[in-house]
Structure 1
Amino acid sequence: MAGDATLPRKRALDILGDVTEERRLLSEVLPKRTASLAPEDRARVQRLVTTTLRAMDRADRALGPHLKKRPAPRVMNLLRLGMVEICDLVEAPHGVVNSAVAIARSDKKTEGMAGLVNAVLRKADIEGWPNLPIPRLPKWLRKPLVDDYGKEIVAAIEAAHYAGAPIDLTPKGEADAVARAVGGTVLPNGTVRLAGQVQVTALPGYDAGDWWVQDVAASLPARVLGAKPGERVLDLCAAPGGKTLQLAAAGADVTAVDVNAARMARVEENLARTGLSATCVVSDALEYEAPAFDAVLLDAPCTATGTIRRHPDLPQAKDGADFPGLFELQEHLIDRALGLLKPGGRLVYCTCSLLIDEGEEQVRDALARHPGLRVEAISPGDTGFDFAVDELGGLRLRPDFLPEQGGMDGFYIARFVKA
């Protein structure tokens, strides 16, 4: 029977295998793998897994000189986990090594490698760890990003990924009051940023519904839409619902549509907690029918490459094979959103992606497909981040922006006006 220190590590090792070998996302496997654990152990497993995934490239560089050949995937992941615990999380080396060896011996498939695990992890170079290169994205993703932005910017993005992400809150009311209550700072757009990781549900104002968790970049599309009291507004592909809450807080008559019933249930829970109201509809966005709306917000399904600092499993679980299908889906969704919009109405299109194909190119293609459609340039005061407005009038946000304050997710946001 594994001890208290070994059990979270074994679960973390299992999850690393799910991601790196089975190509499954953390959002899918983490809840199932940790359901039987105590809350503190669940948190520890998540910390072990996310840190190892962020630092995987650095761990492989540290392990390379001590391996004549790459061991089996489970052993390699065990070595990565141990190296990251010792060098990045600064756990006591003796305990980490003993636990890793015990895990290797507990499985017939890996017991013969226990000696290798012991020998390699005892050579962990804690002092040399910070001098290793910042972990790089895998080639399948790094290459298109370098083509879009250049090596220097991609290196800055990778540094932001490795640094991880703080917790951001969107206030329902006055930002300064929320910041005082939770001990956060107010960013230029009114987002409240917390220092360090905390238990969100224990913060002041959670039960009262004074705020909701939402990355600063994710809060900007609703601001760009500028919903007005009484306007009929459609939030298309609405889950997880932060934008729905923003639109409802602005006083709009909001309809939120998403194909995922479980995720839409979370939207309804957050509406109830915050005391806000919206009509929630479970439907495929391409099949949804309704009278035309004054404004539409479309946060289209995408590669999510802008959220890697929060979801470090993405580069390991994906390989880019699904990208062309997503690009095509985004085109269809833009066309459908325009079909649900009144003449003269506003459509905000956004993706949490770093790929130009999911942002700027989609905007150019939409303008070519729809004569009379125009981009209404994002203006000073719309977001608080005017430096990110591009030549099309859209907003290109990157993880390396606001580096001293903790960065932001990557997003592209454009505002159309229908002829």
Structure 2
Amino acid sequence: MQSAPQEALGHKVVGVGSCGLDYLAQVARFPQPDDKLRTENLQTQGGGNCANALTAAARLGLKPVLISKIGGDAIGDGIISELENDGVSTEFVLRAKGHPSPFTYIIVDREGGTRTCIHTPAAPLEVDDVSPSLIEGALHGAALVYFDGRLAEAALQVAKAATAAGIPVLVEAERLRPGLNELLAHADYVVTSAKFPQAWTGEASLGDALLSTFQRLPHIRWMATTLGSRGSVFLGQAEALQNGDSIPTIRLDDVLDQLSEQMRESKADLHDEPPACTTASGVDIREGQSAAAEGAIRLQWRRDESTLPEVRQKADAAAAAASISNADSRRASEYNRTGSMEECSGDLPIARVIAASAAVLPKDAIVDTTGAGDAFIGTLLYAICHGMPPEKSLRLAAVVAAKKCTTVGARGGLPQRSSLSDMLFL
């Protein structure tokens, strides 16, 4: 993938965002209202999007530094200890005396293959908490800064400092959050969930939502979107060719359909390929496939203006629903998308499009998807710092995410670099 500037290239990455404790209860099926179920497995381990992603990056060989805030309690002591043991520096994790640390109840549904999270936040990271000296110390020598979209007001101060220092910024857009729009305005790289683009833009199709999102990001180099079992999509800037008129023009939805068909047609018997890694229980995980649009293409989008009210209505409804789920309905307007819908109609200047499949492993080997997206992002942090090409980066990230899914919790299945095939990195 496009790498950080050569003068900044290194192993240090800074993450700003959530960390906490996860209580994971695995049950046979998700409970009905007023149900009583017994757990099949109960675990307690560290959590939080940012902390999970940095743990994945640390196990691959980076030197992550976390900026966050937790309580001054025994739970917080355990959070710090677990991160430090994994090689994540907590020098800039603040402790709020008299406040509890954040925690999340997670119900892992074995029958349905889902996980449901109920989060209890702690004291927020305030703007005054991230002093100039803290920011300077954390960013010194960093190759990349990652934001998980939480703690937005304080995170924005770090993002501004990183931009001023020429340090690339990666922002996670998992779901609508207050202040996320401002963070995205500083992003060189963005990783979105499958649901975010359509919620943010109100677009009905995935391709139109991806394109609409991409066009609203003023400094974007590339955007990756995770699609769960369907793999991932990469959309990046490409240099314009001298003869721009010869570049084909096509809708992004059509490109994605073509790439998916290419992967289906060229699919070899991946079960005969050497495994990319093997789990503790002996399950082999194999690298998936990727397909790229041939050369640079011009992505086309012609809006039917009669649909504009419906698109806006969907985006507004998604923002309202997100504010309610966060018990924050009074700030619903802050969850809304940025930019006007009219500005996003037309052609995107030259772009690169790549699709990648998920890694290959038996379906019954998938135990828990909690933290799969964090594992994916942690791997992309590694890929950026090492200048890996996007096709290789997406396949490596899929393998790391798949390995994570073979155990309960966000971190237990994250692989060490030494446990992965060297072919993944060549």
TM over 0.5: no
Point out the structure with the larger helix share.
1
Point out the structure with the larger strand share.
2
**TM value normalised by structure 1:** 0.29
The structure number with the bigger radius of gyration is 1
**TM value normalised by structure 2:** 0.29
**Higher RCO (Cα < 8 Å, 6 or more apart):** 2
